[in-house]
Amino acid sequence: MRQLHLNLFIHGRGHHEAAWRHPAASPLGLADIRYYTGLAQQAEAGLFDSIFLADTLAVGDDVAHAPRAWLEPVTALAAIAGATRRIGLIATCSTTYTEPYNLARQFASLDHISGGRVGWNIVTTWLAAAGRNYGEEAQPSHAGRYARAEEYMQAVTALWDSWADDAVLDDRAAGRYAAPGRIRRIDHAGAHYRVAGPLNLPRGPQGRPVFVQAGSSETGRGFAARHAEAVFTAQMEKATAVEFYADLKARAAALGRPANQVLVLPGLCPVIGGTEAEAQRIWRELGDLSDPEVGRQRLSGRFGGHDFTHLPLDRPLAPEDFPDPATVQAARSRTEVIVGLVRREAPTLRQLLDYLAGARGHFVTLGTPEQVADLIEDWFTTGAADGFNLMPPVLPAMLGGFIEQVVPLLQRRGLFRREYGAETLRGHYGLPRPEARFPGHP
């Protein structure tokens, strides 16, 4: 029977932009590893498939009012791996500003350290300030970033496949550690990278990490169909989620990939109360802690630095108030989501910023545990999702509420596991372990 997948997206002290000020937020600092290990252990107790750490490669312009600086994800997951046993561990790492050999070594090491629980969230970094931290003044174009990422995937996959599964002999009596014929150079030479290989450590328990991706633009969808095994997507309504789900599955099938090996996990930000009125009160309480000018600044960043200062807060918006998403070189898929919402609902700028404050363009729902469970079941059973990338507004309190109140309802309905049935992230997701393929050989 098809089972629901749940991933915990750990972001700051919660996904609402004012979460860090809320009294229910963790008192621990965002550079304190105990904060992350505690959340991972909490999610593991709730039987989640995985946790996910995002990343940013520059200090945000809104740092005075938005604590978005956190630990480097790959390093943090190495510590979290030792504090957990079963839950999957997904880290973001950029194809734009990380060399393939470095990334391949890091994730192979993490897969060994964790016993096969690692996933890689593949991103093509769009932030101009990040480029300046790596010696590049010009912001890479959207198309250029994805072209580079395609070659990157060839190089890192070849590195993970440069050792056969039986390459390590560890024959102490005969004095033979490895079989040289089962380890091969990759000799990758492309437009962007030259990598000799082989990798300098054996294949991990999963063969390679689970490939996760989050871009939903036309280019991003094509990339996901070719490579992704789990897709985190931002959808503001069920109708667009159904369209995205069907489109991505069809693209994957056209490439000969089984549809059940490309999991679609929309972001979900649930605000849970004993009654609808209580959930509404919690949302207003968070909104009262927000600053619309911080939201305006963040919106500008989403649109590549576009100036929104001339827009009044309480006038209904139109698509013409925004740059054409096709011209934006930043995170294009998120700009398409925002402009789509404006086209459908014509909110005021204040209303748009209030909504985006909750989860930056992901789906926000307010209601009782039963209503949240109903929504999850509906999306899961009617072709909108294979599960959800859970984004609690305030951490850890609202994760605890979801685990205590919503997870049991999903279990009683036969939608979610009652115990772990696998040891690896691939096992949790129902994905096969890829066979080692030496470069140039089947």
- DSSP-derived secondary structure letter, 439: T
C-alpha 149: how far from chain center: 17
Give the separation between CA 262 and CA 255, rounded to whole angstroms.
12
Alpha carbon separation from 169 to 140, 161, 176, 203 (Å, rounded): 45, 17, 7, 13
**Cis amide prior to 198 (ω within 30 degrees):** yes
CB–CB of 6/390 below 8 Å? yes
5-274+361-429: CATH topology:
TIM Barrel (3.20.20)
Question: What are the domain boundaries of the chain?
Answer: 5-274+361-429
- For the cut 50, the answer to whether the pLDDT of residue 377 exceeds it is yes
**Is-cis flag, bond preceding 270, omega within 30?**
no
Segment 19-26 shows an average pLDDT of 92
Give per-residue pLDDT as tens, 178-236.
999 999 999 999 999 999 999 999 999 999 999 999 877 888 899 999 999 999 999 98
By the 8 A CB rule, do 195 and 186 touch? yes
> What is the predicted pLDDT for the residue at 130?
72
pLDDT of 331 > 90? The answer is: no
Half-sphere exposure of 414 (CA within 13 A, CB side): 3
What is the pairing mode between strands 176-178 and 168-171? antiparallel
Q: Give the strand pairing for 363-367 and 50-53.
A: unpaired
Can you tell me the distance from the alpha carbon of 111 to that of 425, in angstroms, rounded to the nearest whole number?
10
pTM of the predicted protein model: 0.89
DSSP secondary structure of 255-314: TT--GGGSEEEEEEEEEE-SSHHHHHHHHHHHHHT--HHHHHHHHHHHTTT---TTS-TT
